[in-house]
Amino acid sequence: MPGVLHYLQQGGGVILGVAILLLLMSVLTWCLALGKAWSLTMARRSAAPCTERFWQASTLTEGIDAMRDADAEGLFAPLATAALAAFESPIPSATSSSTGSSAGLTAAALASPISSHPRIPSQSSLARADRVVQAVRRALMDAQRRLESGLTLLATIASVAPFVGLLGTVWGIYHALIGIAASGNPSITDVAGPVGEALIMTAFGLAVAIPAVVAYNLLGRQVRSVNDELDGFARDLHACLVESDDGIRSL
């Protein structure tokens, strides 16, 4: 440790800047990894209770209200809310009678039990299905972006940190060799000391990069698991709301 401190003191502004940058990257990696791990763990634990409460509710709106209480990270409830908002929006119609029929069906659907949700007439099912599909996809993409936030930064740190450490090593060796050459008659001891101290920056870079790589892989696996839960719930929700006997485009 005294050798490292001596190297930092004698290395100049570039070496000190590299050391500070690696330190900041290390702190950012650990804070981001721990915070993301906690968030994903809560999301995985709340997935099953959320969907279970929704499907056990007597009506669709009650299912969403029950889901919000169990949705720790706010991922599943917005998905159902967006789908129902698209489902209950009025369907454009050429005649006023068809418009009134569609609105009446929507009001009845929202108050009906989930297990016995009414079928949608074939003449309006395509328009309603398109809106629900688009709304569910947008909500699903928003949830996935929230889940994946921070992973790109971890990947960047894992890729860049070794090269930042190598930059400090090369710069330190360069100045060490200049100083050795200026001494006139250097010995192996004079060469080994400064060069060995310079190599410590490469070790610092690896010490930052390795935890970032491990965190990225582990967190990426958890993100895929939660994404699978969201995708499955979105498909079930789509089928519950707008799937008809004639067959409607799936997600």
Q: What are the boundaries of each domain within the chain?
A: 2-242
Q: What is the mean pLDDT of residues 140-163?
A: 92
Is residue 186 classed exposed, middle or buried when 0-12, 13-18 and 19+ CB atoms within 10 A define those classes? Answer: middle
Q: What is the mean pLDDT of residues 52-58?
A: 85
The phi and psi torsions of 121 (rounded to 5 degrees) equal -60, 150
More confident residue, 250 or 166: 166
Q: How far apart are CA 79 and CA 26, in angstroms?
A: 35
Position 244 pLDDT exceeds 90: no
Start-to-end CA distance of the chain, whole Å, equals 58
pLDDT of residue 113: 54
Among all chains, which residue has been given the structure tokens 């992973």?
Answer: 151
Q: Which of 35-49, 99-113, 190-204, 209-223 has the lowest mean pLDDT?
A: 99-113
Q: How far apart are CA 40 and CA 147, in angstroms?
A: 7
Nearest CA to 95 out of 124, 64, 53 is that of 124
Q: How far apart are CA 188 and CA 196, in angstroms?
A: 12
Q: Which of 3-17, 98-112, 156-170 has the lowest mean pLDDT?
A: 98-112
Position 18 pLDDT exceeds 80: yes
Position 235 pLDDT exceeds 90: no
Structure tokens of 214?
A: 């491990």
Give the side-chain half-sphere CA count within 13 A for 129: 21
pTM of the model: 0.73
Q: What is the mean pLDDT of residues 177-200?
A: 69
Q: How far apart are CA 132 and CA 86, in angstroms?
A: 5
